[in-house]
Structure 1
Amino acid sequence: MMMIEMPAWQLIGVGVTVLGGFAGLVKLLLLQTERRLDQRFAVMDERFNAVAKDGERLRNLELSFERLRADMPLHYVRREDYVRNQTVLEAKLDALALKLENVQLKGIKQ
């Protein structure tokens, strides 16, 4: 069996070196992980900004639609309303025509 003899200061130096190397690797892994997380969060921020813009555009569209709905009765006549108004006008014209016809008939009889 072979024995390796080292003085205590060398053993402590090797231990500190190994621990330092291990700590360096851990720090390197943490830095890479943090960098990767920063990249992912940057992508997520872009997506959230895009969603926020879409939300703002949707809100503007909804406001435009509500304005259109508010203005529509001023610029648009429903078919039923038009037919009802037309019927009333035609009935009045028919009554006027009947009165004129009656006046003409009375004028002929006299």
Structure 2
Amino acid sequence: MLMIEMPAWQLIGAGVTVLGGFAGLVKLLLLQMERRLDQRNAVMDDRFNAIARDGERLRQLELSFERLRGDMPLHYVRREDYVRNQTVIEAKLDALAMKLENVQLKGTVK
């Protein structure tokens, strides 16, 4: 059996060195993990900003659409309304033509 003898101060020094190395590795690992999290947060911030910009564009589009819906009755005539108005105008013209015809018939009789 192999026996290694060390004085207590060397054993304590070796233990502190091993613990210090372990603590250094843990600190390095934590720093790398924090750096990676910062990178991911930056990417997520960019995505959130893009979503916010898209939301603003969507809000502007909705406002434009609502303005268009409000202006549409001022600039657009429905087919049924046009047909009804045209029918009224044609009926008035027919009545006027009948009156003119009646006047012409009465004028030729005398």
Q: Give the TM-score of the pair, scaled to structure 2.
A: 0.97
Q: CA deviation at 1:53?
A: 0.2
Say whether 1:61 aligns with 2:67: no
Which residue number in structure 1 is paired with residue 75 of structure 2?
Answer: 75
- How far is the alpha carbon of 1:109 from its aligned partner? 1.3
- Give how far 1:79 is off: 1.4
* Aligned mates of 2:2, 2:65 — CA distance in 1: 90
Residue identity in the other structure for 1:32: Q
Residue of structure 1 in register with 2:107 after alignment: 107
Q: Name the residue aligned to 1:49.
A: 49
Deviation digits for residues 29-75 of structure 1, max 9, x if unmatched?
A: 01101100110110011011001100100100000000000001001
Q: Which residue number in structure 2 is paired with residue 40 of structure 1?
A: 40
Once superposed, which parts of structure 1, at least 4 consecutive aligned residues long, lie more than 6 Å away?
Answer: none
Mapped to 1, the partners of 2:99 and 2:9 lie a distance apart of 131
Report the counterpart of residue 97 of structure 1 in structure 2: 97
Offset of residue 80 of structure 1: 1.3
Distance 1:89 1:37 in 2: 75
Q: Could you list the runs of 5+ residues in structure 1 that have no partner in the other structure?
A: none
Matches of 1:25 and 1:47, distance apart in 2? 33
Question: In 2, distance between residues paired with 1:79 and 1:109?
Answer: 45
Mark the runs of 5 or more structure 2 residues left unpaired by the alignment. Answer: none
Report the 3-state secondary structure (helix = DSSP H, G, I; strand = E; otherwise coil) of the residue aligned with 1:83.
Answer: helix
State the aligned residue count: 110
Identity of paired residues, percent?
A: 87
Task: Give the alignment's Cα RMSD to 1 decimal.
Answer: 0.7
Cα distance between partner residues in 2 of 1:76 and 1:101: 37
